[in-house]
Amino acid sequence: MNTRKVVDLRSDTVTLPTAAMRQAMFEARLGDDVYGEDPTINQLEALAAQRLGKEAALFVPSGTMANLVCLLAHCARGDEAIMGDKAHTFLFEAGSSAAVGGIHPATVPNQPDGTLDLTHLEAAVRIPNNDHLPPSRLICLENTHNRCGGAVLSPAYMSKVRELADRHELWIHLDGARIFNAAAALNLDASVLTRDADSVSFCLSKGLAAPVGSLVCGSEAFVRRARRQRKMLGGGMRQAGILAAAGIVALETMTERLSEDHANAHQLATALAQLDGVFLDPEQVETNIVIFEMAPEVISPEGLVRALAERGVKLGAIGGRRLRAVTHCDVGSQDVDYAISAVKQVLGNAA
């Protein structure tokens, strides 16, 4: 096996910018964005708002900052945000909403399909005007859902959460880091999936392959509040149109090809499911994330990661006996075949 080949399935964050993105960055028209004078950032923000059906958008350096900016714009110190116990905002953002914003997280168990059971969700809403309790202010959802294997939330589910939120006068924030993957999986316009959310964040630097950046989208009033929070967090950049230029190319050229990544993920999942000691259901792989489990008598997740790395295949152990592989534009069908062959070789040697 040619060990000089590298197939990196750790995340779609490892994607490299396309030649068109690099050229756009080189030619980008620039200005000072803190003054609102960078024409390329202004163009990207307008395009993002239009694509997600919102009034306005804000460019920020990262997905973590995007989510934090949204929570800070919705909640005051001591307010409570209800979210899934497997939410990226809860697990993987350094506790930033509590540490920086004084926002109290209340978790509800995520269902395997990434949803929050509506009965559980409603039960988590605090009794209003009780001085002993933090006031419920916000519901946080995630689409696609990372730790639920790239699961997709449907428009019908979003509508039901909207009805619940309206009954209790709550906002909805949607962590849409991979919202365009969800749209591709359902063959819908992304705006259909975001129409019931008051705010949405999405990443340019995952499946869309731009090098840096995320967008926050919502009403004009919300984005004005978010802009102030971005400044407080140090996210106000100057001639950042050099980054936004790649984001424009990403939105214009990369969203339509995401179904290729989904097909490659299903190809990988189908092959893995046929191997002894590997547990997953390929039919649950809806987008570009494949999460599978290893039988303890075969090989440890960490051992599999090490052995595959020696063969030029990278993926990640994510706790327990689970591993994650993520397809993206820099991994083609032949790369998936190579990865499958590497897994077979490792498991054959381990048997």
Domain boundaries, the chain: 7-14+257-350, 19-253
How large is the average pLDDT for residues 13-35?
A: 97
pLDDT at 348: 86
pLDDT at 351: 53
pLDDT at 4: 65
Please check the confidence at residue 19 and state whether its pLDDT lies above 60.
Answer: yes
Q: What is the pLDDT of residues 172-211, one digit of tens each?
A: 999 999 999 999 999 999 999 999 999 999 999 999 999 9
- State the Cα–Cα distance between residues 234 and 274, nearest whole angstrom: 49
In the predicted model, what is the mean pLDDT of the chain? 96
> Is there a common fold for 7-14+257-350 and 19-253?
no
Contact criterion met (CB below 8 Å) for 162 and 196: yes
pLDDT at 350: 59
> Which architecture characterizes domain 7-14+257-350 according to CATH?
Alpha-Beta Complex (3.90)
Q: Output the CATH code of domain 19-253.
A: 3.40.640.10
Q: Which are the contacts of 88, defined by CB distance < 8 A and separation ≥ 6? A: 63, 67, 142, 146, 147, 175, 177
Nearest to 43 by CA among 254, 252, 253, 248: 248
Please check the confidence at residue 1 and state whether its pLDDT lies above 70.
Answer: no
- What is the maximal distance between C-alpha atoms in the chain? 66
Contact criterion met (CB below 8 Å) for 105 and 81: yes
Please check the confidence at residue 158 and state whether its pLDDT lies above 60.
Answer: yes
Contact criterion met (CB below 8 Å) for 246 and 21: yes
Q: Who wins on pLDDT, 226 or 3?
A: 226
Strand-pairing partners, residue 217, are: 57, 200
How large is the average pLDDT for residues 25-40?
A: 97
